[in-house]
Every structure is written in structure tokens, then in C-alpha cells.
Amino acid sequence: MNIEELSERLYDDLNGRITAVDYSDDLVIDFQCNDWNDYGVTRYFKITCHGVTESEVRPSVSSEIEFTDSHQLLWNHNEPNGYLYYSSEPENKYEILGRIWEAHEKLFGGWRPLTDFANTYNAGQFIEFCKGSNGQLAHGPKPLMELYQSAVLNRIRTNFVPSYNPEGGGMALVFDTCFVICKSVTVAEVRS
């Protein structure tokens, strides 16, 4: 069985769950679910991720598995990165931050925090953001910076400055609430 076949066969009522994660060499995920043909039987799998560049995986319930080369989680690894600068003083910097936050959350839905990208910092008890008439608004993958630009269009002038192109070639193994970015995945069914 390969990851695509497991992904196709898994659905909500099969009680899928990650039971253990081993980071020793390649990342190995112990996964189990009810059999899709016989609900009273449990199936056990070892999902091995090769060439891991990022992982946020832990024991948890998961009714879905997706292995894809097209996911916003991959943007840090596969898309050109750069800086988003602004060159006009915003009328309301909190509106700018709110618009960026809303666009960010609609895209990532909690997968990545805004603080990974937005240029915010603590100044005492307050968050500093968009201070003055020019500066860095955010940094990150170009598609995300373009999304931020659209969110603040006609509110502030922005300019994207490229910085580097990552190696690319990553794939995302996405569970309900966690993920692994890697080059490839193998699946082995094991007997209990």
C-alpha cells in the first residue's frame, strides 16, 4: 500500500489516529484505523517520511491524510521568498494589521502563526506594527506577500523585494491537525 491508497481509503468513521512519532532517523509515524472492510478489525501502519525539512506532527486523532505538492504549508519551502515593504503612512495601522491577519487566517486557518511573517515586535506592553511612513510590513513566500498586498490595497503603498529561492521539491503530508514537509513517504502495513 502507498500513501495515496491509504489516503483514499481513510474516512471519518474509521477512527484514524497517530499513536506514536519517532524522530530517530527518518521520521516514522505509527498510524492505526479501523479496517474499511471490517469495522471490528484494526489496521496498523508505519508511515516513514524521507528528507524531512519541517514537522509539526504528534499523536492525535486524524480522519484524513493528504500527500500533496500543492499546499500553502509548502510555500516556505517551494516558493520564492522576500520582503514586503510599505512606503506611505497608514491612516490606521491597526486596520492594516487586521486586514493582514484576516487574510492570513483565511489562508492558513491556524496552520502557521501570523508572527512568523508580519513584522511585529513588543514595545513594553504594546505591539509595534507599521510605525512611521515606511518600513518592513512582512517577510515570507511571494504568494503570501501578494495576498497581504491585496488585503491592504488602497490603504498603503507596498513593494515586494525578492530575497531568495528555496531548494523546492517538498511535499506536504497533512493530517487533521498536524503535518510533515518531506521529499517522499513510504507506507508499510504491520501486524499487531
Nine cell digits for residue 26? 527518518
Does 14 have pLDDT greater than 90? yes
Does 190 have pLDDT greater than 90? yes
DSSP, residue by residue, 17-62? EEEEEE-SSSEEEEEEEE-SS-TTSEEEEEEEEES-SEEE--SEE-
Does 106 have pLDDT greater than 90? yes
Q: Report the range of poorest mean pLDDT among 9-13, 149-153, 162-166.
A: 9-13
- Give the residue, 191 or 160, on which the prediction is more confident: 160
Q: What distances in angstroms separate CA 183 from CA 3, 48, 54, 166, 171, one per listed residue?
A: 13, 11, 11, 14, 6
What local confidence, expressed as pLDDT, does residue 181 receive?
97
What local confidence, expressed as pLDDT, does residue 52 receive?
96
What local confidence, expressed as pLDDT, does residue 124 receive?
64
Question: What is the CA 14 to chain-centroid distance, rounded?
Answer: 25
Domains of the chain from N-terminus onward: 3-68+170-190 (no CATH), 80-164 (3.30.70)
Kindly report, residue by residue over 45-85, the tens digit of the pLDDT. Answer: 999 999 999 999 999 999 999 999 999 999 999 999 999 99
- Residue given cell 501570523 in the structure block: 114
Does 172 have pLDDT greater than 80? yes
- Compute the mean pLDDT over every residue in the chain, rounded to the nearest whole number: 93
Task: Please state the pTM of the whole predicted model.
Answer: 0.88
What is the C-alpha separation between 24 and 99, in angstroms, rounded?
A: 41
What is the C-alpha separation between 95 and 25, in angstroms, rounded?
A: 46
**What's the whole-number mean pLDDT along residues 166-186?**
95
**What's the whole-number mean pLDDT along residues 92-111?**
94
User: Where does the pLDDT of residue 191 fall: very low under 50, low under 70, confident under 90, or very high at 90 and above?
Assistant: confident
Show the CA angle centred on residue 5, arms to residues 4 and 6, nearest 5°: 90
What local confidence, expressed as pLDDT, does residue 37 receive?
92
Sheet with 184-190, strands from edge to edge, namely 60-61, 17-22, 27-34, 42-50, 184-190
